[in-house]
Amino acid sequence: MSTIAEMRPATEADAEGIAAVFAPYVTDSVVTFETTPPTPDQWRAKIREGDLPFLVLAGAGIDGYALAAPWRPKPAYRHTVETTIYLAPEATGRGHGRRLLDELLERCAKAGAQQAIAVVVDSGSPASRNLHRAAGFTDAGVLRRVGFKHGRWLDTLLMQRELG
């Protein structure tokens, strides 16, 4: 992966790279509750359909991505977004996650979002919790045993940050 990476909005041409970043998290970890990796075509549809920020970190390929989605479909939730961020393993530990998350939150605020929610699988790995806390998220609650993957029950930690 490139040491100099450009942050920019995702395009449909990025779909294969995004799929490649996310697939190992689906198949080899519990940090997502997805059990089948989305295809590049599914990522292209998500990029096309999204009204909220979807960013990529692009060097020689896609080093990572961050996106926002509606927190819930009911109209009263329209000012609350859920954030998602994933980095290629080779891109971790260089500050890329924080850069992506900060930019995503800034763009969400400009789009009118007032609250950002992160749903972090409480799998014993502190990386995501630490990233979100460093970006100003606070713990909002724990949902116990809400996911079952790779033979074990998993909790999720809800984290929240006020925007704007």
Calpha distance 120→82 (Å, rounded)? 11
The answer to the question of residue 1 being in a domain is no
What would the pLDDT profile of 94-143 be if each residue is shown by its tens digit?
Answer: 899 999 999 999 999 999 999 999 999 988 779 999 999 999 999 999 99
What is the pTM for the complete model shown? 0.94
Calpha distance 133→102 (Å, rounded)? 12
Supply angle C-alpha 92, 115, 134, rounded to 5. 35
What is the CATH classification number for the domain harbouring 69? 3.40.630.30
| Residue whose token pair is 């991505």 | 65
User: Which domain, by its residues, includes 108?
Assistant: 6-162
Domain total of the chain: 1
